[in-house]
Amino acid sequence: MTLHVDKREPQSIIELLRRRIENIEVHKLDVGDYAIGKEIGIERKTLHDLLNSLNYGVVGRKPRLWEQVKNLCNYYKKPVLLIEGVMWKPIYQSELTTFVRLMGVVTNFIYRWDKLKLMFTPSEKETVYFLERTYLLHTSGESRREPPPVVAKSIDPEIVKLNMLCCFRGIGVSTARKILNYYPEFRMIIEEDVKELAKKVGVKTAKLLKSVFH
């Protein structure tokens, strides 16, 4: 079994993969950046790539990212979108808009693309490790043993909301639960007056929520 790598991927990743995987071919891929047959296809996006692929090129056309994901899901049995970079802790106000935009993309993929799997890595090093483990897991049945079956678990929307709130600096689990207790739906935060919001969750948290949900 061969790991196919798109030739446009960073040379640093390709060199690390060559050291770890014996059967690797580097050439231009029509769909995805990494592939194992037509079984597994992986599209790798850095945070910068992800934002750029959201921009509309031609008026009336969907962002390039949606087309890439659609092709990935149509071509491979197990499509994966790998997002590389650290996005969970915006520190400055200028980073908040970008963070919210990225979270919107991730939430969209979770709920609207049932077939697509998401993977997050902080850097190229962890990306290579994930690719290696994916390759070994997929080929383990050929030479060693089949991996144990995985039982899919349903995604609890409340857990997703809780995790999203906890991503914001200064909001812990207890505060996130308090917010969701008052506002089960995020649209309720948008509709709430900031003064009323501050009475329930505090002035600092209220200002943060209003800067995000507006």
Question: CA–CA separation, 207 vs 61, rounded Å?
Answer: 35
Q: From edge to edge, which strands make up the β-sheet containing 40-46?
A: 24-27, 3-6, 34-36, 40-46, 78-84, 117-121
- Average pLDDT over the chain reads 82
pLDDT exceeds 80 at position 89? no
Q: How many CB atoms lie within 10 A of CB 163?
A: 12
Structure tokens at 181: 């207790």
Question: For the domain 3-143, what is the CATH code?
Answer: 3.40.50.10130
Confidence of residue 92 (pLDDT cuts 50, 70, 90): very low
Structure tokens at 183: 């506002």
pLDDT in tens, 28-73: 999 999 999 889 999 999 988 887 777 644 445 567 888 889 999 9
pLDDT exceeds 60 at position 178? yes
Q: Which own/partner pairs from 202-209 qualify as long-range (CB within 8 Å, at least 24 positions apart)?
A: 204/170, 205/170, 205/171, 205/175, 205/179, 208/168, 208/170, 208/171, 209/179
Identical topology for domains 3-143 and 157-212? no
For the chain, percent of residues with pLDDT exceeding 70: 82
At 6, phi and psi to the nearest 5?
-65, 135
pTM for this one?
0.62
Which pLDDT score is estimated for 91? 43
Structure tokens at 110: 């979770």
* 8/55: higher pLDDT: 8
Which pLDDT score is estimated for 157? 78
Q: Where are the domains of the chain?
A: 3-143, 157-212
Which pLDDT score is estimated for 58? 47
Pick the CATH number of 157-212 from 1.10.357.140, 3.40.47.10, 1.10.10.10, 1.10.150.20: 1.10.150.20
pLDDT in tens, 94-152: 555 667 777 777 888 888 888 999 999 889 999 999 999 999 888 765 544 455 555 55
Which pLDDT score is estimated for 143? 45
